[in-house]
């Protein structure tokens, strides 16, 4: 049976993403297959199934994608600054399974994806290109907290990052994280999402964590690794996420007033916790009992 299996994801689009991942778990599939399936849904259908990927580009007008995948045995793979490949999370999985490496970037990552037969096409949408042209008029890089949720879709803090964590019926964990990063970032900028330990970390002995928000803060604090290590020391998922937020704030108290940082954690018992620096972070939980549970995280300020 699938009792004990559960999948959790960041933001409100975590609900439909979980619904793609859940049947994999319910059929007794692995947490790894489940998170890859859910993340792939987010990569292709996030805004509009007929438009394809709709992430905003960097300040040069180039859409670059970051993704990672990890299982609880420490196997992991990631890609960064990848262009025009529809499913970065699947490239990350191939890096994990088919290469001696953990991370591929840029052109090399794209060449590898193509050699693996993964879908290669121009991804930048006319809408995203238009938003970029609008942005060029001011050219200000100033991420606003939860911009999308406050009706500021052209802003830098675009929430197209999905972090997804799952535990299978066998008690094994996996996670995936995929994003186009911060809109209007510098060309070549890499966020936390493809950095193992920053945007994602998984350990079967303890649990799993993922992050969303301004990735520089996650990298600075090795934040997803920190959340998992805090759970290892006995914190609940929520306590661990809260303490990681504290760490971010203590390191940069001024900057923390204006940037959003969000953590989501799942321990090996299937307990879920989340915490955000500012209001507005929501996450989705799906298991045999509840297929579409959207929850609001507590916040520090
Ligand atoms: C990044 N953490 O590239 C990502 C952005 C994000 O919701 O989470 N947006 O820094």
Residue 236 · residue 263 · CB < 8 Å: no
Residue nearest to atom 8 of ligand 1 (CA): 212
Q: Which atom of ligand 1 is nearest to the CA of 157?
A: 9
153 compared with 137, residue with greater pLDDT: 137
Residue 183 · residue 158 · CB < 8 Å: yes
Distance 42 CA to ligand 1 centre (A): 14
The Cα–Cα gap between 215 and 294 comes to 23
Q: Which atom of ligand 1 is nearest to the CA of 10?
A: 7
Choosing from 46, 180, 193 the residue with most ligand 1 atoms within 8 A of its CB, the one to mutate for a pocket test is: 193
* Catalytic positions: 161
Q: Which candidate, 14, 99, 72, places its Cα nearest to that of 200?
A: 72
The Cα–Cα gap between 65 and 73 comes to 25
Distance 2 CA to ligand 1 centre (A): 32
What confidence tier does 45 reach under pLDDT thresholds 50, 70, 90? low
Residue 168 · residue 25 · CB < 8 Å: yes
What confidence tier does 299 reach under pLDDT thresholds 50, 70, 90? confident
pLDDT in tens, 48-92: 444 456 788 999 999 999 999 999 999 999 999 999 999 999 999
pLDDT in tens, 139-194: 888 876 766 544 444 444 556 789 999 999 999 999 999 999 998 999 999 999 99
CA-based radius of gyration for the chain? 17
Pure H helices in 154-282: 215-220, 223-232, 237-251
Distance 212 CA to ligand 1 centre (A): 5
Q: Is the ipTM of this complex over 0.90?
A: yes
Output the pTM of the full model: 0.94
């Amino acid at each position: 049976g699938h009792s004990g299996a559960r999948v959790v994801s960041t933001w409100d689009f975590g609900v439909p993403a979980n619904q793609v991942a859940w049947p994999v778990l319910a059929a007794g599939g692995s947490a790894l297959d489940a998170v890859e399936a859910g993340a792939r849904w987010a990569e292709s259908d996030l805004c509009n199934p007929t438009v394809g990927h709709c992430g905003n580009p960097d300040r040069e007008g180039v859409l670059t994608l970051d993704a990672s995948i990890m299982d609880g045995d420490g196997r992991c793979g990631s890609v960064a600054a990848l262009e025009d490949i529809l499913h970065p999370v699947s490239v990350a999985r191939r890096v994990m399974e088919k290469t001696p490496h953990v991370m591929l970037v840029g052109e090399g990552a794209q060449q590898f994806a193509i050699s693996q037969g993964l879908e290669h096409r121009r991804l930048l949408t006319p809408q995203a290109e238009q938003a970029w042209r609008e942005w060029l008029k001011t050219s200000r890089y100033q991420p606003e907290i939860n911009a999308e949720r406050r009706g500021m879709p052209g802003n830098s803090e675009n929430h197209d990052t999905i972090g997804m964590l799952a535990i299978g019926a066998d008690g094994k964990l996996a996670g995936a994280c995929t994003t186009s990063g911060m809109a209007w970032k510098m060309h070549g900028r890499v966020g936390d999402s493809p950095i193992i330990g920053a945007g994602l970390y998984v350990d079967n002995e303890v649990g799993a964590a993922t992050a969303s928000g301004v990735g520089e803060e996650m990298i600075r604090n090795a934040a997803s690794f920190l959340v998992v290590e805090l759970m290892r020391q006995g914190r609940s998922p929520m306590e661990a996420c809260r303490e990681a937020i504290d760490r971010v704030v203590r390191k940069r108290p001024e900057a923390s007033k204006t940037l959003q940082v969000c953590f989501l954690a799942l321990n090996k018992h299937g307990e879920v916790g989340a915490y955000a620096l500012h209001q507005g972070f929501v996450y989705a939980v799906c298991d045999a009992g509840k297929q579409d549970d959207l929850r609001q995280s507590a916040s520090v300020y």
